[in-house]
Amino acid sequence: MSQRSVEGSGLRIYAILYLLFLYAPIALLPVFAFNSGTIIAFPLQGFTTDWFVQMWANATLRRALTNSLIIAVSSSLLATCLAIFAARASTRFEFPGKGGIMGFIMLPMVLPEIIVAMSLLVVLLGSGLSLSVLTVIVGHTLICMPYGIAILSTAFSSLDKSLEEAAYDLGETKWSAFRLVTLPLVMPGIISSLLISFTISLDEFIIAFFLAGNEPTLPTYIFSQLRFPKQIPMIMALGTVLVALSIVLLAVGEYFRRRGIARIGGKDNGGFL
């Protein structure tokens, strides 16, 4: 017994240290975002909100934000729609070649992004299409889709197949059975998929960097500013806002996930992935 508790507390200390290691760099964000010194270094100078004001007034940043939001909203919607098709097909139907097709669709999850970005870029340049926000949406939809499929497959497969049959048996059509029974039950999964695709797209750098042409997105804007030391405090302020936003989005996603589980009386068995 005591051996176990010693082991447990040892591991516990390790796990907490590990969390500190995970969070330490992020904790620096607000520290320097509110620090009045122009150089990112200790000791701290004084409290200021100037960097947030400067950030708010920056026109390029606004443009980057608008672009990022357009890209993230479009690609999360597109990716989730496509993922609904794929997840339903893979959990509900058997057909020859299913494993291969699904494996291929999930491929972007295990392919270095640089390769996706470069090959798409080569094709786009070769075909004479101009780079824009649209091309980034195309790329982001591709890489978000597998995450959506992973989330939605879990949602679909945890669904009792006879629920839809029961609705059909009680006089509904195949489509209305799907709409009245399946859709509400996988809705938490759909929301999770949307949120996670949105977050991935908002953070994605490589594809945006190569496929956006002259249009800035948030990550490419941040990347371009990192070369200028005097811009760093503003980037720290921006980072603070982004991290806070991510945490809010994740918390909302987690809330929906738990509510979804509670609603159908299931058991909670872990996080997002």
Partner 1 sequence: MSDGPKAMIECQDIHKYYGDYHALRGIDLTIREGEFFSLLGPSGCGKTTLLRTIAGFEDISSGAVLIDGKHMEDVPANQRPTNMVFQSYAIFPHLSVAQNVAFGLRRDPRGKAEKAALVEEALGMVGLKGYGNRAAHALSGGQRQRVALARALILKPKVLLLDEPLSALDRKMREQMQVELIKLQRQVGITFVLVTHDQEEALVMSDRIAVMFEGGIAQLDEPEALYARPRDRRVADFIGVMNFLPAQIIGETDSHVTVQVGGLGQVDLPHSQISRANPDDPEPTIGFRPETMTLIGPSQPHTQARETEAVIDEVVYYGDMTYYDLRLENVPEPVRISMRNVFGRDVQAVGTRTRLAWSPGSLVLFR
Partner 2 sequence: MTKRIFDAEARQGYSLIAPPFVYALLILAAPLLTILAYSFLTDGYLEVVKEFTLENYAQVFSDPIVRKIMLRSLLVAGLVTLVTVVLAFPVAYYVSFMVRPERKSMWLFLITIPFWTSYLIRVFLWKVILGYNGVINSTLTGLGIIDEPLTFILYNVNSIVLTLAHAYAPFAILPIFVALEKIDRSLLEAGRDLGESRVMTFWRVTLPLAMPGVIAATLIVFIPTIGDYVTPELIGGGKIPMIANLIQVQMLALDNRPLGSALAVTAMSIVAVVSLIFLFLNRRFLKVRQ
- The answer to whether the CB of 232 falls within 8 A of the CB of 55 is no
The two structure tokens encoding residue 167: 């609705």
CB 53, min distance to partner 2, A: 20
- The answer to whether the CB of 207 falls within 8 A of the CB of 117 is yes
Q: Could you say which of partner 2, partner 1, none residue 59 binds, taking C-beta under 5 to 8 angstroms by partner kind?
A: none
Q: Which is nearer to partner 1, 15 or 264 (CB)?
A: 264
Buried b (16+ CB within 10 A) or exposed e, 213-226: eebbbbbbbbeebe
- Answer yes or no whether residue 56 interacts with partner 2 by CB under 8 A: no
CB 155, min distance to partner 1, A: 13
Instruction: Report phi then psi at 38, rounded to 5.
Output: -85, -15
Which range of residues in 45-53, 91-99, 159-167, 186-194 is near partner 2 by CB under 8 A?
91-99
- The answer to whether the CB of 35 falls within 8 A of the CB of 44 is yes
CB 76, min distance to partner 2, A: 14
Q: First vs last Cα of the chain: how many Å apart?
A: 33
Binding residue for partner 2, selected from 1, 2, 59, 273, defined by CB under 8 A:
273
Site for partner 1 in 156-195 (CB under 8 A): 160, 162-163, 165-173, 180-181, 184-185
Judged by CB under 8 A, the number of residues near partner 2 is 89
Mark out the alpha helices in 93-182 (DSSP H runs).
98-106, 113-126, 133-157, 161-169, 174-177
Which range of residues in 51-59, 162-170, 176-184, 234-242 is near partner 2 by CB under 8 A?
234-242
Dist. CA 152–CA 248, nearest whole Å: 22
Q: For 47, which DSSP code?
A: B
Q: Could you say which of partner 2, partner 1, none residue 255 binds, taking C-beta under 5 to 8 angstroms by partner kind?
A: none
Which range of residues in 57-65, 153-161, 180-188, 263-271 is near partner 2 by CB under 8 A?
263-271
Site for partner 1 in 206-265 (CB under 8 A): 263-265
Which residues of the shown chain bind partner 1 in the complex (CB under 8 A)?
160, 162-163, 165-173, 180-181, 184-185, 263-265
